Structure 1
Amino acid sequence: MLKLLTPLLTSLAAGEVGLAVSRAKRSAIFMTAIAILAAIGTIFLLLAAYIVLAERYGEMHSALILAGCAFGLAITIYIIMKISDAAARKRQRERAKIDTSALLTIAALAAAPAVLRSRGLLMLAVPVIAFSGLSLLTKKKKRRPVDDSSSGDGI
């Protein structure tokens, strides 16, 4: 029965993959056009800002102002990137902890029938399960120590 459904399932999967690939190609073409036009607009915007600043402050000062603004934006974007990367790493660590505990639970449930059949393994497993359950219940989060040196008394 499954051999009869295999061609149907592969054709459905291939059709979905083909649609996804064509959608990705179309999106890539449009995003490339958008990026090129945005780059051209940004260049002309910077040129107009340079002209306005050059009329008011002079050529050297206007170039320095635009360069300073560009570096300031770059530093701001870098800081935002680092903050978002740290948050993503934290979420990934939490997800890995949850996945590990789920995997261990599944492994324990899969091994439970074999342990329950054997009286010797059951006698060995009961204290191990009790100890691990107790350690999970009593595990507390570590807190950072409070730093009292910044209270402002020793200025």
Structure 2
Amino acid sequence: MLKLLTPFLTSLAAGEVGLAVTRAKRRAIFMAAVAILAAIGVFFLLVAAYIILAERYGEMRASLTLAGCAFGLAIFAYIIMKISEAATRKHQRNRSAIDTSTLLTIAALAAAPTVLRSRALLMLAVPAIAFGGLSLLTKKKRPRPRDTSSAGDGI
């Protein structure tokens, strides 16, 4: 029965993939155009800011002010990137722990029929299951380090 539906399912999947690729290409082209136009706008905005600052404070101070602002924004973006990466790594570690736990549970469930058929393996498995369940129930979370700065102590 599934052999009869295979050509239909294949054409359906290929059509969906083709549409998704076409949409992605179109979106990439439009986003590239938006990025180029935005870069041109930022360039002329910087030129206008330089002209205004140069008339008011002089050319050297204007260029140093714009350069300082650019470096400040770059440092700010770098800090945001590092914070975002740390949050992503933490999320991935938590996800990995959940995935490992899920895989171990699936492996245990897959092995259960074999273990339940053999009396000797069942006798070995009962203490292991009890120990595993006990370790999951009594698992303590590590305490988070507290902030030891004493703001307001001694007042």
Give me the TM-score of the superposition, normalised by structure 2. Answer: 0.94
1:146 deviates by 4.7
- Establish whether residue 59 from structure 1 lines up as the match of residue 59 from structure 2: yes
Structure 2 partner of 1:151: 150
Structure 2 partner of 1:95: 95
1:133 deviates by 0.8
Alignment of 1:39-118 (within 5 A): 39-118=39-118
Alignment of 1:26-37 (within 5 A): 26-37=26-37
Quick one: percent identity of the two aligned structures? 80
* Cα distance between partner residues in 1 of 2:44 and 2:147: 51
Which range moves more in the overlay, 137-146 or 50-59? 137-146
User: How many aligned positions are there?
Assistant: 153
Structure 2's unaligned 5+ residue stretches are: none
1:89 deviates by 0.6
Deviation string, structure 1 residues 105-125 (Cα, Å, up to 9, x no partner)? 111111111111110000000
Deviation string, structure 1 residues 79-104 (Cα, Å, up to 9, x no partner)? 00000010011001101101110111
RMSD, aligned α-carbons: 1.5
Structure 1's unaligned 5+ residue stretches are: none
Deviation string, structure 1 residues 48-90 (Cα, Å, up to 9, x no partner)? 0000000000000000000000000000000000000100110
Letter in 2 for 1:36: I
Q: What SS does the corresponding residue of 2:150 show, helix, strand or coil?
A: coil
* Cα distance between partner residues in 2 of 1:40 and 1:125: 69
* Cα distance between partner residues in 2 of 1:25 and 1:73: 31
Letter in 1 for 2:116: L
1:151 deviates by 3.0
